[in-house]
Amino acid sequence: MAALLMTVMVFTFVLLLVNALREILPWLVSGQVGFGIVATAFGLLVPFVWVFALPMGMLTATLLIFGRFSADQELTAVRASGVSLLSLISPILLLSLALCGLSAFVNMEFGPRCRVAYNALRGKLFAQFSSAQLPEGRFITDFPGYIFYIGRNRNPDLEDVLVFVLQNETNVEHTLRAPRGKLAFDTQNKRLSLTLYDAKVISSQRELVSSYEEVSISFEDVSKRAADKPKIDDMTFNQLWGELRDLERRMLLPASVKSLTPEQRLGRRKQLEQQRANLMPIIFQMHRQIAFSFACFGFTLIGIPLGIRVHRRETNIGIAIALLLVALYYGFILVGQALIPHPELAPHLFVWLPNLLFQFAGAVLLWRANRGI
């Protein structure tokens, strides 16, 4: 149990650090927010990273424990005492099933709600602190259609301002440079206004350069977007189910095929295919939440016999094997996610393949290890 707690804490810390380095720590280092708000943000991110930390921690713990157990010849001593391997690991399998229940609660309800609360907190901070809206010394991509870079931010006065105006959220259409600028928040319209002084506008082809004494840019406040309906990835299972039922009710009712012309049949077929494509992201997310909940059991089943077969005491060997298995497991998830635009390939079933593969392979390896093969 101690090894499980340790590995889960390590993976939780690592995954939290990845998110913190990108979003949270810059707020604290720049002095724009207090430690209490940062701690709250960390707390809201913990359930989100537990979706991945719990299965990874269970797999690593079983590999380390049974690798040392086998290397120290303790398994031979247990068998000599008349205790079978299956009897020995039964409490661990029961613990993994209990963790599956905990994972289901985190994946399907608690985690998405905490993620939505984190996004709301992040949006609220952006609304309250104009310096947090455009922190200095890094590129800001929080506003659709723009990328900002601020050399110095002396709220509300800005220096060395660089703005990339995007086309289709990817291509740079214009670049604006200005030695000075000012950021203002319109409380009535809930929009931010950035005014640039002595600005130069450069086209994407770098051929046309225009100079202006004053240029104003107005864009939506991110706190307003945070209050909108959560994204599919941030919905609970019940919210996804309701969204799915709502979309199905709005689908076109099938008309009598006999009453349609060939052109109308083709059009109806294309409409139905498009409707199925609109449903697939929701269906995929629902299946992923459920499938992730069984990852602890699958990782435990395959981790125990692999730990015995590796027969090594070294921690780094167990961690390396765990990372390879985790990469394989989530590789199936990424493949299914890439196939979402192709609902005819049933991408939602790909999330179940690693569970079935790990559980079947683990059961076979356990049976062989129990028989001493």
103 and 12 in a common domain: yes
d(CA 183, CA 92): 57
Residue 333 domain flag:
yes
Q: What is the pLDDT of residues 8-41, one digit of tens each?
A: 888 888 887 776 666 666 666 666 667 777 788 8
102 and 75 in a common domain: yes
Residue 145 domain flag:
yes
Range of the domain at 213: 134-224
Q: What is the pLDDT of residues 174-213, one digit of tens each?
A: 888 899 998 876 655 656 788 889 888 887 665 567 788 8
In the listed set 191, 224, 257, which residue is the last one of a domain according to the structure?
224
In the listed set 224, 246, 264, which residue is the last one of a domain according to the structure?
224
Residue 163 domain flag:
yes
Q: What is the pLDDT of residues 219-249, one digit of tens each?
A: 765 444 444 567 888 899 999 999 888 887 7
215 and 287 in a common domain: no
The CB density around residue 254, as the number of other CB atoms within 10 Å, is 8
104 and 138 in a common domain: no
Residue 35 domain flag:
yes
Residue 230 domain flag:
no
In the listed set 195, 224, 253, which residue is the last one of a domain according to the structure?
224
Number of domains comprising the chain: 2
Residue 263 domain flag:
no
46 and 142 in a common domain: no
124 and 40 in a common domain: yes
Q: What is the pLDDT of residues 126-179, one digit of tens each?
A: 655 544 456 777 788 777 778 888 888 877 788 898 888 887 766 778 888 899
214 and 181 in a common domain: yes
Q: What is the pTM assigned to this prediction?
A: 0.69
304 and 201 in a common domain: no
195 and 84 in a common domain: no
Residue 75 domain flag:
yes
